[in-house]
Amino acid sequence: MASIHLKNLGHRYAAYDAGSDNPYALNPLDQVWEDGGAYALLGPSGCGKTTLLNIISGLLRPSEGRVLFDGEDVTDLSTERRNIAQVFQFPVVYDTLTVAENLAFPLRNRGMESTTIEARVAETLTMLGLEGRANERARSLNADDKQKISLGRGLVRTDVRAILFDEPLTVIDPHLKWQLRTELKKIHERFSHTMIYVTHDQTEALTFADKVVVMNAGSILQVGTPEQLFDRPRHTFVGTFIGSPGMNVLRCTFDGEAAVVDGVKLPLDEATIKAAHARGLATSGVSLEVGVRPESLLVVGAGVNTDDDPHYVRVDVLGVEDLGRHSLVRLRLGNQLLCALHPEGAAIPEAAALRFDPARTLLYANSLLVEANG
Ligand code: ATP
């Protein structure tokens, strides 16, 4: 396995849309992927995920910067010479070969001994739940099983420096998806391959990866554990992209001690207040927003006396949607809309107050989290 360092790397396609403000499909970045890490590369369509993956695999040469594997410069090496396994969105199998022959193919290609090949193929068949089907022709398999073989062809080699997955479960039945994701996680725990898994599906990313790399518009915005991305999104895009529904983002000002949304004060924690002062945000004129997850807000009835408690603010209830385990309460604070999650079955008051927890009320300047080390 290898650590992967993308050194001052950026990419412009020769045929990039000339009308666009930014010629880069991938904005210049410097990024290290640790040896043995399970990463998910998450972002909306067109944000540059496949471009980044193809640069790592060697299918695409970056227009600037270098790719290093364990410190060795591999920028000019082909995919084969980089010793990488790849699994694509659609099955890559040889229809005329059997299941076992398909799995054995990458090993035979590298001149491995037949006893080792047999053992690895048998192990991979078990991993994928395809025991007993070794001798079936690939052409007779359904799409799910063919994609399992594609995954198997990526996983059968133990000597690869990294395994790259490009939306590998898109064509798979939803129930099997969950099963295969769990299996991939187990395989990672056992073999500690460096794995990079591209997806635009947050559930897939958060359940597969130790670290999720969130991208938007050609840039990496945050690399973090699922908890870090959920609890402290470092960019408002990360907060709104992750979560269902995503984080509420409200325009505000900073009056030196609180965030002020349309004249209403929202309490912030000490560390945020200090960081905001250090950056002069009370007077700087930069665009400020407050971010708060719907899960962190508590809706209470107007009957509850909240007047002397600065954590509570008055809001209008606009509507309620039943989401099963929770209700989604749509609210208005000043002139801005937000939502809160409320336990199922609990009555939703018509006139309400909303409790903000300062530790979970985040401040953003120019879309970036205001924090002590920001
Ligand atoms: P998706 O999830 O839809 O596959 P993605 O996040 O993988 O999207 P990329 O395919 O890497 O994104 O594309 C990033 C940007 O580069 C997009 O604006 C895309 O239109 C552009 N692009 C991709 N391939 C080429 C190409 N061969 N020539 C010119 N522009 C390209």
Task: Return the pLDDT at 136.
Answer: 95
Beta-bridge partners for 235: 368
Query: What pLDDT sits at residue 341?
Result: 94
What is the CA(36)–ligand 1 centre distance, in A? 27
Atom number of ligand 1 nearest to Cα 43: 6
What pLDDT score was predicted for residue 133? Answer: 93
Q: For helices 114-127 and 99-109, give the axis angle rounded to 10 degrees.
A: 130
Q: Is the CB of 105 under 6 A from ligand 1?
A: no
Query: SS3 sequence, 85-125?
Result: EEECCCCCCCCCCEHHHHHHHHHHHCCCCHHHHHHHHHHHH
Q: What is the pLDDT of residues 112-126, one digit of tens each?
A: 999 999 999 999 999
pLDDT of the residue at 69? 96
CA distance 40 to 185: 12
CA pair distance 45, 241, nearest whole angstrom: 12
The CATH code of the domain at 4-239 is: 3.40.50.300
CATH 2.40.50.140 fits 245-369, yes or no: yes
For the chain, state the CA radius of gyration.
25
Per-residue confidence (pLDDT) for residue 18, from 0 to 100: 66
- Does 200 contact ligand 1 (Cβ within 6 A)? yes
What is the Cα–Cα distance from 99 to 329, expressed in whole angstroms?
51
Do 141 and 96 touch, CB atoms closer than 8 A?
no
How many C-beta atoms lie closer than 10 Å to residue 374's C-beta? 14
165 vs 155: CA distance, rounded Å:
11
Mean pLDDT of the chain: 91
Give residue-wise pLDDT tens across range 334-353.
Answer: 999 999 998 877 777 777 88
Q: What is the pLDDT of residues 74-84, one digit of tens each?
A: 999 999 899 99
Whether the per-residue pLDDT at 159 is higher than 70: the answer is: yes
Query: Mean pLDDT throughout 276-286?
Result: 92
How would residue 373 be classed by pLDDT, with cut points 50, 70 and 90? Answer: confident
Residues of the chain with CATH 2.40.50.140: 245-369
Identify the pLDDT of residue 157: 87
> Cβ(51) to ligand 1 under 6 A?
yes
Q: Residue 51 CA: which ligand 1 atom is closest?
A: 11
Q: Which pTM does this prediction carry?
A: 0.91
Average pLDDT rounded to a whole number, residues 200-222: 93
Average pLDDT over residues 177-183: 83
Q: Let me know: does 327 contact 344? Beta carbons within 8 Å.
A: yes
Return the pLDDT at 176: 83
Task: Please tell me the predicted confidence (pLDDT) of residue 374.
Answer: 62
Residue 189: pLDDT band (50, 70, 90) is confident
- Ligand 1 center–CA 51 separation, angstroms: 6
pLDDT tens for residues 33-59? 999 999 999 999 999 999 999 999 999
When pLDDT is cut at 50, 70 and 90, the band that residue 100 belongs to is: very high
**The pLDDT of residue 173 is above 90:** no
Residue type present at position 165: F
> Is residue 264 scored above 90 in pLDDT?
yes
Asked if pLDDT for residue 321 goes beyond 70, the answer is yes
pLDDT, position 158: 81
pLDDT of amino acid 339:
96
- Rounded CA-CA distance 42/72 in Å is 27
Mutate to test the pocket of ligand 1, among 47, 167, 214 (most ligand atoms within 8 A of CB): 47
In this predicted structure, what is the pLDDT of residue 129? 86
193 lines ligand 1 (CB under 6 A): no
Q: Is the pLDDT of residue 187 over 70?
A: yes
Token pair 């089907």 is found at 133
Q: How far apart are CA 292 and CA 362, in angstroms?
A: 6
What's residue 144's pLDDT? 87
What length does the chain have?
374
Where does the chain hold its CATH 3.40.50.300 domain(s)?
4-239
Å from CA of 17 to ligand 1 middle: 11
pLDDT of residue 31: 95
Please indicate whether residue 16 or residue 117 has the higher confidence score (pLDDT): 117
Q: Rounded distance, CA 90 to CA 69, Å?
A: 27
Average pLDDT, integer, range 150-164: 89
Residue 236: count of CB within 10 angstroms of its CB: 21
| Rounded average pLDDT over 84-101 | 92
Is the separation of the CB atoms in 196 and 167 below 8 Å?
Answer: no
Which of 9, 16, 60, 204 maximizes ligand 1 atoms within 8 Å of its Cβ, making it the mutation to test the pocket?
16
